[in-house]
Chain A
Amino acid sequence: IAGITQAPTSQILAAGRRMTLRCTQDMRHNAMYWYRQDLGLGLRLIHYSNTAGTTGKGEVPDGYSVSRANTDDFPLTLASAVPSQTSVYFCASSKRGDTDTQYFGPGTRLTVL
């Protein structure tokens, strides 16, 4: 089935641990994005990638890193998780940029204790 998949669905993590959230799309979209969603704050952009091999910082990039080695995959890494990174994380993709529809994955619910 075409679309975006995210893994894991949910995770409980001890503070200080390293964690990688996985995101894969099979629509051959050029652009991919990571958002976090917190109650009362809406969606905030963490990092994005306009095309394979390039990445950019969003509103809240601190504590997160991304890579875009190929078109399909866009992993998000928390090098040393902190409780404030407890959130629901959504990956999205679009053909190009701002004039294209973004397609969202189902999300990863992350709890950092």
Chain B
Amino acid sequence: SQQGEEDPQALSIQEGENATMNCSYKTSINNLQWYRQNSGRGLVHLILIRSNEREKHSGRLRVTLDTSKKSSSLLITASRAADTASYFCATPLHSSGNTPLVFGKGTRLSVIA
């Protein structure tokens, strides 16, 4: 089964509002990544947060990681119509070694202009 699960499945907001998406995972990890997918396209990497980090910023993105709760959140501030996409969290398939990522089912974000 998939390691990460995003919540909510879908989110609709007005332009300028903040969007928050959550990810829960099952096993211990050394990092967690967030990706974005525009309709009909491949995924694009947004940000990586390591297990010893609690918060990380990149432009309008803010990611938090709580390893005790096995959860992460992605916050997009001052959203724009162009942020409309699906967002996925990804965690390592295995706990150690050279391991691929496993993706959650994603959150579909719609930003209405």
Contacts and interface: CB of A to CB of B under 8 A. Distances in A.
Question: Do A and B truly interact?
Answer: yes
Contacts, number: 74
Interface stretch (A11-19, A67-75, A79-87, A99-107): A99-107
B78 interface: no
Interface string A55-67: 0101100000000
Contacts of A22: none
Interface in B30-63: 30-31, 33, 35, 40-45, 48, 50
A48 B99 CA distance: 9
Task: Give the size range of A's interface with the partner.
Answer: 20 to 34
Nearest to A105: B42
A42 B105 contact: yes
Interface string B97-109: 1111111111000
A18 B84 CA distance: 37
Contacts of A40: 105
Contacts of A99: 30-31, 48, 50
B98 A97 contact: yes
Contact of A97 (B41, B44, B99, B105): B99
A48 B93 CA distance: 11
A73 B33 CA distance: 25
Interface residues of B, number: 28
A33 B92 CA distance: 13
A42 B35 CA distance: 12
Contacts of A104: 42-44
Centre residue among B2, B43, B90 by max chain A CB count within 10 A: B43
A35 B98 contact: no
Contacts of B102: 45, 59
A31 B100 contact: yes
Interface string B74-86: 0000000000000
A43 interface: yes
A98 B41 contact: no
Contacts of A35: 103
Given A98-B31, A101-B48, A44 B98 contact: no
Interface in A44-58: 44-45, 48, 50, 56, 58
